[in-house]
Structure 1
Amino acid sequence: MAREKRTEQLFVTVPSFFRCPISMDVMKSPVSLCTGVTYDRSSIEKWLALGHNTCPATMQTLPSTNTTPNLTLRRLIHLWISQADITPAISKQEAADVINGEFDSNSLTKMIGFINSSEENLKFVALSNHAVPKLVEAFAKSDSMRVLELIVEVLDLISMENAVREKLNELILKSDGITDYLSSFNLVLQKGNTESKVKSARILELMAVNSDSQRKIAEKAGLLHELYSLCSVETETSAVEAGLSALLAISTSRSVKKELIRFGMVKTVGKILSGYDYSSAVRAVIEKSLKMLEMVATCTEGRGAISEDRECVVEIVKRLMKCSRAATEHGITVLWSVCCLARDGTAQENVAKVNGFTRVLLVMQSDCSSNTRLMCGELVKVLREKNMKSNLAPYETKTTHITPY
């Protein structure tokens, strides 16, 4: 019992810089990219193998995808593990016994230790015929929050395997047990720790692979609001990003977008944009926040809510050319939607008052997409008229105050 309590405590008190920014698990082989960010080797190799040429944490384009072992951090992790007296990973036979037995906090903790030990062990569990079905069943039936959190951790670890994602959709989204399963996700998002909430959101995002799964997740009573709360109430960057990512994955219908607008998503995104600094560490959050606004701006209600929120409009303008090309293009699309498509005079004036005319011109002259350049052209025409009517200063060529991304 003492060993179980000590092991459970370790999952709560792991130093944050020992965790991989992608998997959120303790790094076994920490390696650094040229951006200076360190990841677990297996996680970053999967990211790069998918064809990405950016750093996941900063979204900076990588001039080189070479990785350098972070030996100092590896020594620190090994020292922490030895001092924490973490139980060595169980054998494959013991892992098989755990999979075929009853799940409790002790057996699930052993399985997590086994999976974290090697990529081979991860695949052993992920490709097991019984692991995912039994985890799903236990997740639907358990009334222990600790057990639910541990199951979420196991599913998060193995969900990157294609076979697992397919099996999850088959067992959960296309079966009679979907209600109970999604109710358990709801419970974890309501009462679980922040780490479990983040992992739950990630799993739901992976499950939202088609219109059917997106609809079923979005229509589950309370689940949409809990994901919204993750990015509106939680303060940790990882939680905000996970909430936004999951909502972007499932909010494809107009009814869901209208529900998010009713919750106050536009105001929430405005606060996110104004509350975060301009560091590269929060780039993904800013990009997804602006992408969220672009998504809700595709419906009349969304454009109206954005136009009415002066803080949100002002923050969009301030973020142009300050984060990344993707963030800037999302921002331009939103401004075009409210200023040109909706022709909202209040939004036009608010953009003009914060030097939006100059910033849009800068974007137009930058390395942006052709579609973005066309939207910039229409915005320039509208904002030029507002500038002239409000006697604002003409276009100023001194633009060194705007730092390009």
Structure 2
Amino acid sequence: MPVSVAPLDLAGVTIPHHFRCPISLELMRDPVTVCTGQTYDRASIESWVATGNTTCPVTRAPLTDFTLIPNHNLRRIIQDWCVAHRSLGVERIPTPKQPADPSLVRSLLDSAAASSFTASRVAALRRLRSLARESDKNRAVISTHETRSTLVEIAFEGGEQLELPEADQPALEAMAVLAMLPLTETESAAVASRPERLCRLGEMVTRHPSMEARINAAAVIEAVAVGARSAETRASVGGTNGVMQGLVALAEQRGNPRAVRVGIRGLFALCLAKENRGRAVAAGAAAAVVGRLGELASSDA
């Protein structure tokens, strides 16, 4: 049975120094090069940057560009080394699925925002949605301020009223992508400060015939409430006609754990503002949440 290559000391095998990540000191599975020319395992350098570090761990030079360039040559050499030592129990590292190309994301975003053809816009947004669903890495590439701001504009371009199905399709697809992304305080304000946008969310989460569209609207409501960081903004969202009722209705759904989760998360996020707690209780949130906790627990088991 092959042994893992994660431990530094493998029985009878010495891992070449330049195959080891300078951060973890373990065999690199997905080597990437940063702007200083140093190579690290992707998971290690991403964790390094995510904790607030802005310098190269080896050179201590500032990371002026956080782009991670896959080091395909080194990965292939490491894979060949693994194969050569297979008899000693070393497994070949898999070829990692690379994150979405930022240039592709920009191209799709341009098509979604600028094309005069509805079909082209919908196709571009669906491709973005597919990429976002594939992996956390893709969502990290997609989730830039430019992308999120553009998606907000597309998602609410129809005003507060729901449009005919075909005309509303780009907005629905943009909402579906937004549902997978966090929003900053500025982006949340771009939604919450516009009454017609809040009204549209209230309409969608309560009245849209598609359950998926209702769930996506609820996820965006949660993202706005979390990103807002302001009790006043959360109170404004929670006070919008249909928002509390729509979230409670989702929390009451039977046989749809995703709807229940999104509804409950949205209620909790809004109830961070005291003004919304009475509204939630009046809408039946307490009974809905208590009634579905057991179902959620069983679905997670």
TM-score band by shorter chain is 0.5 to 0.7
Aligned partner of 1:108 among 122, 127, 130:
122
Q: CA separation of 1:233/1:120 partners in 2, compared to 1, >3 Å: closer, same or farther?
A: closer
Q: Aligned residue for 1:233?
A: 253
Q: Aligned residue for 1:260?
A: 280
Aligned partner of 1:153 among 156, 167, 176:
176
Counterpart code for 1:236: N
Q: Aligned residue for 1:182?
A: 198
Counterpart code for 1:171: A
> Percent of counterpart pairs with the same letter?
11
Q: CA separation of 1:50/1:264 partners in 2, compared to 1, >3 Å: closer, same or farther?
A: farther
Secondary structure at the residue paired with 1:235?
A: coil
Counterpart contact for 2:156–2:200, Cα < 8 Å: no
Return the alpha-carbon distance in structure 2 between the equivalents of residues 264 and 110 of structure 1.
39
The answer to whether structure 1 residue 199 and structure 2 residue 216 are counterparts is yes
> Which portions of structure 1, spanning 4 or more consecutive aligned residues, are displaced by more than 4 angstroms?
89-95
Counterpart contact for 1:182–1:220, Cα < 8 Å: yes
Secondary structure at the residue paired with 2:272?
A: coil
Determine which structure has the larger helix proportion and give its number: 1
Counterpart contact for 1:126–1:132, Cα < 8 Å: no
Secondary structure at the residue paired with 1:233?
A: coil
Counterpart code for 1:109: A
Return the alpha-carbon distance in structure 1 between the equivalents of residues 164 and 46 of structure 2.
33
Q: For 1:190-339, what aligned pairs fall within 5 Å after superposition? A: 190-208=207-225, 209=228, 210-273=230-293, 276=295, 279=298, 281-282=299-300
Q: CA separation of 1:102/1:184 partners in 2, compared to 1, >3 Å: closer, same or farther?
A: farther
Return the alpha-carbon distance in structure 2 between the equivalents of residues 277 and 114 of structure 1.
29
Q: CA separation of 1:278/1:173 partners in 2, compared to 1, >3 Å: closer, same or farther?
A: closer
Aligned partner of 1:138 among 129, 150, 157:
157
The answer to whether structure 1 residue 127 and structure 2 residue 150 are counterparts is no
Q: CA separation of 1:46/1:263 partners in 2, compared to 1, >3 Å: closer, same or farther?
A: farther
Q: CA separation of 1:234/1:151 partners in 2, compared to 1, >3 Å: closer, same or farther?
A: farther
Return the alpha-carbon distance in structure 2 between the equivalents of residues 94 and 243 of structure 1.
30
Unaligned 5+ runs, structure 2: 1-41, 52-92, 98-102, 133-137
Question: How many residues get paired?
Answer: 199
Deviation at 1:185, TM superposition (A): 1.4
Deviation at 1:207, TM superposition (A): 1.0
Q: Deviations over 1:205-256 (max 9, x none)?
A: 1211321221111111121111111101353111101101010011134443
Q: CA separation of 1:106/1:193 partners in 2, compared to 1, >3 Å: closer, same or farther?
A: farther
Counterpart contact for 1:232–1:240, Cα < 8 Å: yes
Q: CA separation of 1:91/1:131 partners in 2, compared to 1, >3 Å: closer, same or farther?
A: closer
Counterpart contact for 1:99–1:130, Cα < 8 Å: no
Return the alpha-carbon distance in structure 2 between the equivalents of residues 201 and 169 of structure 1.
14
Deviation at 1:109, TM superposition (A): 2.9
Secondary structure at the residue paired with 1:98?
A: helix
Q: CA separation of 1:234/1:105 partners in 2, compared to 1, >3 Å: closer, same or farther?
A: farther
Deviation at 1:97, TM superposition (A): 3.7
Return the alpha-carbon distance in structure 2 between the equivalents of residues 216 and 105 of structure 1.
35
Return the alpha-carbon distance in structure 1 between the equivalents of residues 185 and 192 of structure 2.
10
Return the alpha-carbon distance in structure 2 between the equivalents of residues 184 and 267 of structure 1.
26
TM-score by length of 1: 0.40
Counterpart code for 1:257: R
Q: CA separation of 1:241/1:94 partners in 2, compared to 1, >3 Å: closer, same or farther?
A: closer
Q: Aligned residue for 1:373?
A: none
Return the alpha-carbon distance in structure 2 between the equivalents of residues 180 and 264 of structure 1.
25
Q: CA separation of 1:240/1:261 partners in 2, compared to 1, >3 Å: closer, same or farther?
A: same
Counterpart code for 1:207: V
Aligned partner of 1:168 among 173, 187, 212:
187
Counterpart contact for 1:152–1:199, Cα < 8 Å: yes
Q: Aligned residue for 1:324?
A: none
Counterpart code for 2:255: T
